[in-house]
Amino acid sequence: MLKQLTSPFKYERIVVKERDVMSTNKPRTGIKNGIKTIKRLWAYLAKIRAQFILVLLMVIASSGLGLLGPYLIGTTIDEYIVTPDNQGLLLLLIGLVVVFFFHSLTLFLQNFWMIGISQFTVNQMRTDLFHHLHKLPISFFDKRQYGELMSRVTNDIENVSSTLNSSVIQIFSSVLTLVGTVAVMIMLSPLLTVITMLIIPLMVLGMKWITRRTGKLFKKQQQNLGELNGFIEEVISGQKMIKAYSQEEKVIAGFVEKSNNLKLSGFWAQTISGFIPKVMNMLNNLSFAIIAGIGGILALNGMVTIGVIVIFAEYARQFTRPLNDLANQFNTLLSAIAGAERVFDILDETEEKDAGTNLVQLPSIKGEVVFSNVSFSYEEKEEQQTLEQVSFRAYPGETIALVGPTGAGKTTVINLISRFYDVNDGLITIDGIDINQISRDQLREQMAFVLQDTFLFQGTIIENIRYGRLDATDEEVIEAARSANADSFIRKLPDLYQTMISHDGSGISHGQKQLLAIARAMLANPKILILDEATSSIDTVTELRIQEALMRLMKGRTTFVIAHRLNTIQKADKILVLKDGGIIESGTQDELLEQKGYYYELHHRL
């Protein structure tokens, strides 16, 4: 650790380069296209162009007033102090008070309005990002940590917000002040102006050395922050498993490693960028000393006045201050661009779109589902496909059970029916219609899901059930709960249907969560029902209640059941036995037992 902290060059070589080579799945640490990112940020700012123009006008006014103040001070010295003139001095002092008052007022207005602009901008970005996340396919989320995505919605956008609040105004103000200062300096004394400019090459070299290193370090810092957030989210959500296997030390070690990575990237990003004000202050003092010395010599020879030297001394400070501010804001801007780029990376992800323009309207279906030679793999370069040449037919109202070892493709069948993924080859139809010709929204409106891990939203019991159909009345929700055998336990809760539950459903049992999920599905009144291990990890008594509720739910609906407990699928109209991505047996339970094949062995083994 100490060795890594001794040299920024060693850190860059080890952390920034070698780790990225070792992990090809990680994004590049450098900013890919800063100009493009700035243009996209400007597109957001342009939505409130009028207010932004007002801010720029205030920046111009404050910069002009900031230049006028030192000029009036120098004029006061030459006109009213060297040659005493009390009346003129009083008037000029009043003028200075007015100048400084309006200078402060314009600074306040530009900052006040810019805060509104920045909050509007990041609110639009955050809203666009959140909307876009809901349009992305399931495959996108399967490949990413949730915490890392949350970091982009929160940390990266907040980084953009803080930069817009301060840096945009500072950059415009610094540029205007720099141009105005140079113009007035040349007008007063070209010679002193040239002498002042001698420090610019040193500033440029220092800036180039520093900024060449900070861009990739700020990007690395944001990446490490996202990874740490993802790790924390994963660890917190998996606390039961961690404690069950006594893996606290392992996850702590993992946290320490990721935290140290963030500490190192943050240390060097802030350390190297921190050189900028130190270098600029040193050059600022050097410039002031040069002007004071050479200006004094010129004043003794009658080439300039004392007032001009005072103006130059102040302008020299104003000349280096904008450069200093630009240098500081440049690093802040790099950090914001890195954050904005990570946001735009998500916004550039391809949305989940329906193929074709002539989509079939699907007001209602009977529920006949047909797989015709369907093949699918999650990765394009997989040697063995997850499903290969799978064909079967589910008639309306039938219950189809999917049985087989882990990895056989049972969940994949469900994913394809619901179009969480699209087939690579073959055809899936519902009531004879290719599902690719049905919009995903219309297709999923005809379906309901009861999964092994029931997800409940933070809110009341009635709100969670109503998620199945948002326009349902309270009476319809309660009736669905009765049909799902959930009403009895809900009546025992402190606030009945208004009882608040957290997103993980703490406070109610796993079986009760399953009953709420069944009630939600009943309220949706689907034509196609998906049951994925809906009765796993349930005690026998609760399982009977759930089975009874499921029988009501399945009645008259085409149902696909994934279950490892074979007693839950005994009454299925058809059992499909999958292995190695294909259907090796199909039929009723009695027919499969008579065949004495794989299902027969599985049945007697369990």
Domain stop point among 492, 525, 558: 525
Collapsed DSSP state (helix, strand, coil) of residue 350:
coil
- Average of pLDDT values for 455-464? 82
Domain stop point among 498, 525, 552: 525
Q: Tell how far CA 258 is from the center of its chain.
A: 19
The answer on 329 and 458 residing in a single domain is no
Cα(126)–Cα(132) distance, integer angstroms? 10
pLDDT of residue 464: 84
- Average of pLDDT values for 592-600? 83
Amino acid at 37: T
Range of the domain at 511: 453-525
Query: Where would I find the beta strands (DSSP E) of 462-581?
Result: 500-501, 528-532, 558-562, 574-579
pLDDT of residue 83: 65
CATH at 155: 1.20.1560.10
CB neighbour list of residue 4: distance below 8 Å, 6 or more residues apart: 10, 11, 14, 15, 264
Question: Model's pTM, two decimal places?
Answer: 0.63
Other residues' Cβ atoms within 10 Å of the Cβ of residue 585: 19
Q: Which residue(s) pair with 448 in the sheet?
A: 529
Q: Is residue 292 part of a domain?
A: yes
Residue 32 tokens, joined:
């890919």
Q: Is residue 460 part of a domain?
A: yes
Report the interhelical angle of 474-483 vs 540-554 (nearest 10°).
Answer: 120
- Percentage of residues of the chain with pLDDT beyond 70: 77
Name the most confidently modeled range: 150-154, 273-277, 373-377, 385-389.
373-377
**90: pLDDT strictly greater than 60:** yes
Residue 214 tokens, joined:
């900070």
The answer on 72 and 221 residing in a single domain is yes
Determine contact, residues 215/21, Cβ cutoff 8 Å: no
Distance (Å) of CA 195 to CA 74, 182, 199, 278:
19, 12, 8, 22
Q: Is residue 538 part of a domain?
A: no
Query: Where would I find the beta strands (DSSP E) of 352-505?
Result: 369-376, 387-394, 399-403, 425-430, 433-434, 447-451, 459-460, 500-501
Cα(14)–Cα(19) distance, integer angstroms? 7
pLDDT of residue 32: 58
Helix (H) or strand (E) holding 482: helix 474-483
**265: pLDDT strictly greater than 70:** yes
Residue 127 tokens, joined:
């809203």
pLDDT of residue 211: 67
The answer on 146 and 262 residing in a single domain is yes
pLDDT of residue 593: 85
pLDDT tens digits, residue range 318-362? 666 676 667 667 767 777 787 788 888 888 888 777 665 577 777
Q: For the chain, what percentages of helix, strand and coil (3-state, to nearest 5) are there?
A: 65, 10, 25
Q: Is residue 589 part of a domain?
A: no
pLDDT tens digits, residue range 203-223? 777 667 766 667 677 777 877
Task: Name the one residue in this structure whose structure tokens are 């415009």.
Answer: 172
31: pLDDT confidence band, cut at 50, 70 and 90? Answer: low
DSSP 358: -
- Average of pLDDT values for 177-191? 77
The answer on 457 and 340 residing in a single domain is no
pLDDT of residue 569: 75
CATH at 505: 3.40.50.300
The answer on 237 and 111 residing in a single domain is yes
Work out how many domains the chain is built from and give that number: 2
Mean pLDDT over the full length of the chain: 76
- Average of pLDDT values for 58-69? 82
The answer on 471 and 330 residing in a single domain is no
Sign of the Cα torsion 230, 233, 235, 238 reads: negative
pLDDT of residue 22: 33
173: pLDDT confidence band, cut at 50, 70 and 90? Answer: confident
Residue 306 tokens, joined:
């004392």
Domain stop point among 288, 316, 347: 347
pLDDT of residue 539: 56
The answer on 343 and 462 residing in a single domain is no
The answer on 460 and 343 residing in a single domain is no
Least confident range from 80-84, 108-112, 437-441: namely 80-84
- Average of pLDDT values for 83-87? 66
Q: How far apart are the first and last CA of the chain?
A: 54
pLDDT of residue 80: 63
Q: Is residue 112 part of a domain?
A: yes
pLDDT of residue 95: 78
Determine contact, residues 599/577, Cβ cutoff 8 Å: yes
pLDDT of residue 94: 82
Q: Is residue 47 part of a domain?
A: yes
Q: Is residue 86 part of a domain?
A: yes
Angle subtended at Cα 223 by Cα 219 and Cα 227, rounded to the nearest 5 degrees: 170
Cα(160)–Cα(508) distance, integer angstroms? 41
Q: Is residue 448 part of a domain?
A: no
Cα(156)–Cα(37) distance, integer angstroms? 13
Cα(128)–Cα(347) distance, integer angstroms? 8
CB neighbour list of residue 185: distance below 8 Å, 6 or more residues apart: 192, 193, 196, 312, 315, 319
**17: pLDDT strictly greater than 60:** no
The strand pair at 433-434 and 425-430 is best described as antiparallel
Determine contact, residues 91/39, Cβ cutoff 8 Å: no
pLDDT of residue 600: 81
Cα(606)–Cα(587) distance, integer angstroms? 19
Residue 185 tokens, joined:
């300096």
pLDDT of residue 7: 39
**581: pLDDT strictly greater than 60:** yes
Determine contact, residues 437/360, Cβ cutoff 8 Å: yes
514: pLDDT confidence band, cut at 50, 70 and 90? Answer: confident
The answer on 292 and 158 residing in a single domain is yes
pLDDT tens digits, residue range 462-492? 888 888 888 888 888 888 888 888 888 888 8
**224: pLDDT strictly greater than 70:** yes
**70: pLDDT strictly greater than 70:** yes
Determine contact, residues 156/221, Cβ cutoff 8 Å: no
The answer on 464 and 335 residing in a single domain is no
Distance (Å) of CA 199 to CA 103, 170, 174, 193, 292:
29, 22, 17, 11, 15
pLDDT tens digits, residue range 129-146? 888 887 888 877 777 777
